[in-house]
Amino acid sequence: MAMEMQAPKGTKDMLPQDAYKWQYIEGVFREVAKTYGIREIRTPMFEHTELFLRGVGDTTDIVQKEMYTFKDKGDRSVTLKPEGTSPVVRSFVESRLFNEAQPTKLCYITPAFRYENVQKGRLRQFHQCGVEVFGSKEPSMDAEVIAVAMDTLKKLGLKSLSLHINNLGCPNCRPKYNEALKKFLAENYDGLCDTCKSRFEKNPMRILDCKEKKCNEITKNAPIILDYMCEECDSHFAKVKEYLDILEIPYEIDPGIVRGLDYYTKTIFEIVTPDFTVCGGGRYDKLIEELGGPDMPAVGFAIGIERLIMTLEKEGIEIPNETLFDLYIGARGEEERKAAFKLASQLRPLGVKCEINHMGRSVKAEMKYANKLGCTFTTIIGEDELSNKKINLKRMSDGEIFEVSLENIEEIAKSVK
């Protein structure tokens, strides 16, 4: 017996009956991005592994536990991208976009890949839409990027949104904080998981992001970085809050946010609902330089599309579903079927979504099928219709009938759209 083929664990097919949800969300995201002058970028599905080691950080959960990494036929180590920011920065540097007038505002919609424990809201192939803005160090840009995310989520109908913000400091103030954090963690070192013990010397802040329960218990009373910020970071954070106030975006300062990526500096944020974190992002002022570009600031975010769809469904927000067909053209005989075929070919260039009988159904079965498809209008071409060169358009919602000339294609198109 042939083996039943199934999708790999942690992946999910997008079926035609669900595709409209994705198309709608992506359309809203692109529409909002355009109002901010943000242009789309597309990067490859895989990159050299070194990109993520240097960008995401080799002490993060993503790099240590979750990346899909393999050798290609040239014995080069490549990785399916686990997040969208590092590839966009790599492209920005490689394409020398830093030589253009700044800021550079980019957005993307992409699949990403992480070898995670499959659970509600977490898949091994998932999808993100995100924004990356390069070239501006101003706190106003932090607030504007947050506004792009909030505008997108609000336009989709979400109401139970909460913005959590924090500041991770910079290379000037973070060493002092790391010293205090290490001193605190040293007293509880034996209780840490093995992964966190390996992070202790190199990157103690990553311990704050650990998912292990025993590590969470230890770190809940750890020192917070907001108490160790330098004057510049303190001033930047204060101004970000001022700009959020101008935008009338409420926020909660949450010292517990550290995000799971090493490249963040200064502002970081999450947008959460009662069930999920649907968006995360922040400033990463050193990543462009780290990946071979100039010393140039940047800020961005990513929204998980699968989680977003689950959140919309949980809040009872219905995504508008487009009508599949404006017109179903039935036919009674062979010549009539040819006429229906020709009529459909004339209407489609005018934007009419129409369908004809490709299955040899009877006229009665055709109308039943048209009703199942949710067609807005139906018509049947018979001998009389061909000889009189007139057809009746039936509006399915109320049964009203409109007679139109079979030869006036534009009138038919106008009537059914």
> For residue 264, what pLDDT band results from cuts at 50, 70 and 90?
confident
What residues contact residue 332 under an 8 Å CB cut-off, 6+ apart? 363, 380, 381, 382, 383
| Whether residue 162 sits in one domain with residue 292 | yes
**Over 70: is that where the pLDDT of 407 sits?**
yes
Q: Say if 248 falls within a structural domain.
A: yes
Q: Among 76-90, 131-145, 166-180, 379-393, where is mean pLDDT lowest?
A: 166-180
Cβ atoms of 113 and 80 within 8 Å: the answer is yes
pLDDT score at 118:
73
Could you tell me if 300 and 337 lie in one domain?
Answer: no
Helix H, strand E, coil C: the string for 63-106 is: HHHHCCEEECCCCCEEEECCCCHHHHHHHHHHCCHHHCCCCEEE
Decide if 113 contacts 69 (C-beta within 8 A). no
Alpha-carbon span 309 to 46, nearest angstrom: 25
- Average pLDDT rounded to a whole number, residues 206-228: 85
**CATH number, domain with residue 336:** 3.40.50.800
Residue 333 sits in the same domain as residue 303: no
259 is in an annotated binding site: yes
Planar angle of CA 140, 141, 147, nearest 5 degrees: 90
355 in the same domain as 300:
no
Q: Which pLDDT score is estimated for 298? A: 98
CA distance 83 to 350: 41
| The pLDDT of residue 146 is above 60 | yes
- Specify the CATH number for the domain of residue 119: 3.30.930.10
- pLDDT (tens digit per residue) in 288-302: 999 999 999 999 999
pTM for this structure?
Answer: 0.90
Phi, psi at residue 110, to the nearest 5°? -150, 150
Domain presence at residue 349:
yes
Q: Are residues 310 and 391 in the same domain?
A: no
83 annotated ligand binder: yes
- Binding residue per annotation — 110? no
Say whether pLDDT at 163 is over 70. Answer: yes
- Is 263 assigned to a binding site? yes
Q: Which candidate, 199, 67, 48, places its Cα nearest to that of 124?
A: 67
Lowest model confidence (mean pLDDT) among 35-49, 59-73, 303-317, 354-368 = 59-73
Read off the pLDDT of each residue in 4-32 and give the average, rounded to a whole number.
94
- Checking if the pLDDT of 1 tops 70, the result is no
Q: Which of 282, 314, 346 is the last residue of a domain?
A: 314
Mean pLDDT along residues 216-221: 85
In angstroms, how far is the first alpha carbon of the chain from the final one? 50
Consult the annotation and say whether 76 binds a ligand: no
**Which residue range forms the structural domain that includes residue 379?**
327-416
For residues 278 and 375, membership in a common domain is answered with no
259 pLDDT band, cuts 50/70/90, is low
Residue at a domain's end among 291, 314, 337: 314
Q: What pLDDT score was predicted for residue 258?
A: 78
Q: Are 141 and 74 in the same domain?
A: yes
Amino acid at 327: L
Domains identified in the chain, total number:
2
Task: Return the bridge partners of 108, or none.
Answer: 130
Mean pLDDT, residues 118-124 taken together: 78
Query: 357 and 294, same structural domain?
Result: no
- Is the model's pLDDT at 261 over the cut of 80? no
The mean per-residue pLDDT over the stretch 349-362 comes to 95
Residue 357: the pLDDT is 94
Q: How is residue 190 written in tokens?
A: 């034996």
Q: Token pair of 265, please?
A: 């500096």
Structure confidence at residue 211 (pLDDT):
77
Domain termination site, one of 314, 347, 373: 314
At 263 the pLDDT is: 82
264 is in an annotated binding site: yes
Query: Averaged over 362-386, what is the pLDDT?
Result: 95
Q: Mean pLDDT throughout 11-40?
A: 96
67 is a domain residue: yes
Question: What was the pLDDT predicted at 275?
Answer: 86
In a domain, residue 210? The reply is: no
Write the Ramachandran bin of 325: left for phi over 0, alpha for psi from -120 to 50, otherwise beta: beta
pLDDT on residue 84 = 95
Residue 360 domain-assigned (yes or no): yes
179 is in an annotated binding site: no
User: Does residue 185 belong to any structural domain of this protein?
Assistant: no
Q: Is residue 155 part of a domain?
A: yes
- Percent above pLDDT 90 for the chain: 76
Whether residues 369 and 273 share a domain: the answer is no
Predicted pLDDT at 377: 97
Give the single-character DSSP code of 339.
Answer: H
Span 226-252, pLDDT tens digits: 999 999 999 999 999 999 999 999 999
Query: 276 and 407: one domain?
Result: no
Mean pLDDT of 304-314: 94
**For 404-411, what is the mean pLDDT?**
96
| Pair (118, 252) in one structural domain | yes
Q: Residues 144-154: what's their mean pLDDT?
A: 98
Average of per-residue pLDDT values in the chain: 93
Whether 256 is covered by a domain: the verdict is: yes
43 and 103 in a single domain? The answer is yes
